[in-house]
Structure 1
């Protein structure tokens, strides 16, 4: 094998494999060798799928040589987060409580990726119950940020972010209800896309019915080193599936929109690190140079209220059961989160749920109207540079500050908006990035703008250990 698979985009790698200029067996073996060399240092992949991947690669190789159909992700190595059903593996969600919850079938988007010949090399870590922007648990251990072990790799898809940054697969699956794709991408110096709600079908037979918050706000989506890899992953993962009645058959591209962007440097006046403000200014200049009109609007719809409503919906929906599960698991991060909101949860009255959902709709309307004027919004991913590892366990003041810094992480899902986290570079071992927000179902606009920024900031390079 003369070409280094990591030097190729996922699309180019699949094309090489389909044409026979690269062998899926060789690519898979090289990727698994890289996993063996680097993963012990960071613990991003916590369930091994290497034997299955090699078996699938050999079958794909035979099919290619026989002139059979080849999928869009032919031989592309991918990872799946342990929150998602994958046949033959435990859907642990980072807990000991679910250590033996083995799936009998794939979640719909996993089946779609397999049908397009993606090769699943492993399953990635998440904090217990996927509650934190930090990734450690008693079941699988702690995931380290390959860019800087003193920083969080993010969460809850911290394993996905770390695996992507280390080149352990071209595409990583993550989930996002309060930043769990966008923040690990930001913290690990890669790219991450939160799709529109209903874009990617994702249903766990092991999980039973979905609560209200996940129905309204939770999504599955991709992380990668390249924006086009996100686009290709979205093409494959998306679509309507009967197994997920909340999935919809919406086209991946929409009508032309004006190349007009809003620069929102401090949403709701939030505190933002100077380096992030500089990243946003540079991103705005890149868009202008590419022919976009970029403005700083005099007024922007609120995010803080959306953040608080997102938290309220989580607290109203089975909080006692969440607290009991956290106690049973004994995870420090989950218990700290439960403790922070316990008093607030105890005050809710039954009629507040309806009021919260009504107010949510009003806020969604405000943002949809704003996005009709500005199809792209540039804003921070977080108000702070990546947090120190386990900083949320250092006391109430730190936890409160972290939640304040994550305003856009928490608020945008309530508004049912997609978001793209674009890496703006790594300085002295500290990644940073900016966020692109678009109207629902217009990930194509986010990816188009994201490629402009990727060209300006530079494509992230994989950590070499």
Structure 2
């Protein structure tokens, strides 16, 4: 690293930063200070990081430098600055989830994902914003305010990991931790022109000691933690670091990162318009562009759809509305801001014409059984076509608060997000990777594979990134 260049360290990806620190070309303190300086410079414009940890981060960086000096064995993210999300326990920090009433709910221990980041050597420089209760595709709340998209301030940074996506797109650390039950990693990655991976459920351990009560069954099936990053190679390293086991999560399964070989050339099912419900021309163009890139790289790309794609997406409401959303509705009404109150009501309005509790419970049970059937059909589909290339969203990123207009507007949005919802319902891995811009706004695609085949997703996404990826970080724009 040449003299006078330390102020540009925030531009580098995590893999390069870890190598520079390990080879003693720069110190972890220099890297951390550069990212904290970048945070101070740009965060007032985007409000992505809502709790900056200057003193703690510099102390962690100094400890990382001492480890290098001693010749200790170093983790893959040693000295690399990262951010964590305010709905995830981090020792000594509030797990406020964007709710005023929870601003003093301070965690006494790290969640598994934060602990795993630390074990890998990462330095936590701040906590990122989320919508109230982390259940909107828009990041705004009464406690911390609105997070803006650095590409254009009038459109959503996505949700619920909107602060995470906005932060890394603007250069506040190369890697962010997020979580995803209905697209909350993949959609912010899409909106901010970065990458994000939703792992297979059970792959990355999750646990919050601050949480009271039990998790709904649909949350156990659909909610996962994972990283967002500017580059796929960072995403790969961070995903593997986050996947270390933790006994606090009984769902966790230790599975090798590299699955068994698949028949080559690898066949890809390209789904331009899932269930034939319509897709924006820019999104369709992005899917076809990514498909051509994979074809040029030797994949066999065919325009074919997995079984019952639309039905799988509809199962999110059938399962989640009476389970996740119904459990969320009372605390949202009691503690939430107007945005989350309105959004929860509109979410629950999707597919809930039936009011008889017994009938609805029967429908919920049937939806769970149908989920297993469709997942089995998809797994058989993956035997012939190990990768599915699909939209993240059928529409470009929305203006702020587009989810609060009314039932009809929410219904259209629910339809547009169907590819995210289907993957969540089935518990499959999906990688969001950018493929370009439309009117100055990022557009991306989703790479999906069978259970525990994140390796196939990441390999294909890295090829797409090499040809189509966006140049980030960027300076925030009005």
Could you tell me the TM-score, scaled by structure 1's length?
0.96
- Whether 2:459 is the aligned partner of 1:445: answer no
Question: Counterpart of 1:108?
Answer: 112
Mark the CA change 1:420 to 1:203 in structure 2 (over 3 Å): closer, same or farther.
same
Aligned residues of 1:239 and 1:250 also touching (Cα < 8 A): no
Aligned residues of 1:239 and 1:247 also touching (Cα < 8 A): no
User: Counterparts of 1:303-452 in structure 2 under 5 Å?
Assistant: 303-317=309-323, 321-340=327-346, 341=348, 344=353, 346-349=355-358, 350-452=361-463
Q: CA deviation at 1:162?
A: 0.4
Deviates more, 1:3-12 or 1:287-296: 3-12
Cα separation, 2, equivalents of 1:216 and 1:379: 22
Q: CA deviation at 1:394?
A: 2.5
User: Counterparts of 1:171-320 in structure 2 under 5 Å?
Assistant: 171-208=175-212, 209-258=214-263, 259-297=266-304, 300-317=306-323
Deviates more, 1:105-114 or 1:64-73: 64-73
Aligned residues of 1:332 and 1:393 also touching (Cα < 8 A): no
Aligned residues of 2:310 and 2:418 also touching (Cα < 8 A): yes
Superposed CA RMSD: 1.6
Q: CA deviation at 1:231?
A: 0.2
Q: CA deviation at 1:318?
A: 6.6
- Listed one character per residue, the Cα deviations across residues 299-356 of structure 1 (whole Å, up to 9, x for unaligned) are 5312222222222222222755422212222422222233222554744423333322
Question: Counterpart of 1:128?
Answer: 132
Cα separation, 2, equivalents of 1:458 and 1:184: 16
Mark the CA change 1:56 to 1:156 in structure 2 (over 3 Å): closer, same or farther.
same
Mark the CA change 1:411 to 1:392 in structure 2 (over 3 Å): closer, same or farther.
same
Of 71, 75, 79, which aligns to 1:71? 75
Q: CA deviation at 1:101?
A: 1.3
SS at match of 2:44: helix
- Listed one character per residue, the Cα deviations across residues 137-168 of structure 1 (whole Å, up to 9, x for unaligned) are 01111100011111100001100110011011
Aligned residues of 1:239 and 1:248 also touching (Cα < 8 A): no
Cα separation, 2, equivalents of 1:318 and 1:24: 41
Q: CA deviation at 1:5?
A: 2.3
Of 30, 36, 41, which aligns to 1:37? 41
Q: CA deviation at 1:98?
A: 1.8
Aligned residues of 1:147 and 1:188 also touching (Cα < 8 A): yes
Aligned length: 464
Q: CA deviation at 1:7?
A: 4.3
Cα separation, 1, equivalents of 2:49 and 2:129: 6
Mark the CA change 1:189 to 1:355 in structure 2 (over 3 Å): closer, same or farther.
same
Aligned residues of 2:193 and 2:470 also touching (Cα < 8 A): no
- Listed one character per residue, the Cα deviations across residues 171-204 of structure 1 (whole Å, up to 9, x for unaligned) are 0011011000000000111111111111111110
- Listed one character per residue, the Cα deviations across residues 353-400 of structure 1 (whole Å, up to 9, x for unaligned) are 332211110011111111111111111111101111111123333222
Cα separation, 1, equivalents of 2:344 and 2:81: 37
Could you tell me the TM-score, scaled by structure 2's length?
0.94
Cα separation, 2, equivalents of 1:234 and 1:40: 29
Unaligned runs of 5+ residues in structure 1 are none
